[in-house]
Amino acid sequence: MKLLLLILSVLIAGRADFDKTVHDFGTITEADGPQHCTFKVTNTGDEPLTILSAISSCGCTNVRWTRKSLAKGEIGTIEATFNNEDGPFPFDKTITVYLSDIKKPVVLHLRGVVK
């Protein structure tokens, strides 16, 4: 995990700071219904930052994100909803986030086990 955070800081140094890149739901049951989490990104650069898109790795995860440009110091969000309807299994879903003026996307993870 520390390596992932180190790699992330190299990719987006000086422009954006994510509060986390992995959200672990732990063990959940199908009866718990859809699971929600939020990732926060802070513009640490001098220029406006825009979340251009956030793309889920599968149809079981819906994503919404802040659409307006973020001024220096402003915080935007990427909200994910994992629909755990497909039976018991461990999961590691990804959300690929594209940010303005940052060449490589940031990959966020949703992890857990459905019982």
pLDDT tens-place string over residues 15-39? 899 999 999 999 999 999 999 999 9
CATH class of 2-114: mainly beta
CA-to-CA distance for 95 and 13, rounded, in angstroms? Answer: 20
| DSSP 3-state of 6 | helix
Q: Tens digits of per-residue pLDDT, 77-104?
A: 999 999 988 778 999 999 999 999 888 9
Domain boundaries, the chain: 2-114
Task: Identify the pLDDT of residue 51.
Answer: 97
| pTM, entire model | 0.86
The helix (H) or strand (E) run that includes residue 4 is: helix 2-11
| Chain position carrying tokens 């955070």 | 5
CA-to-CA distance for 31 and 87, rounded, in angstroms? Answer: 10
Using alpha carbons only, give the angle 38, 1, 64 rounded to the nearest 5 degrees: 20
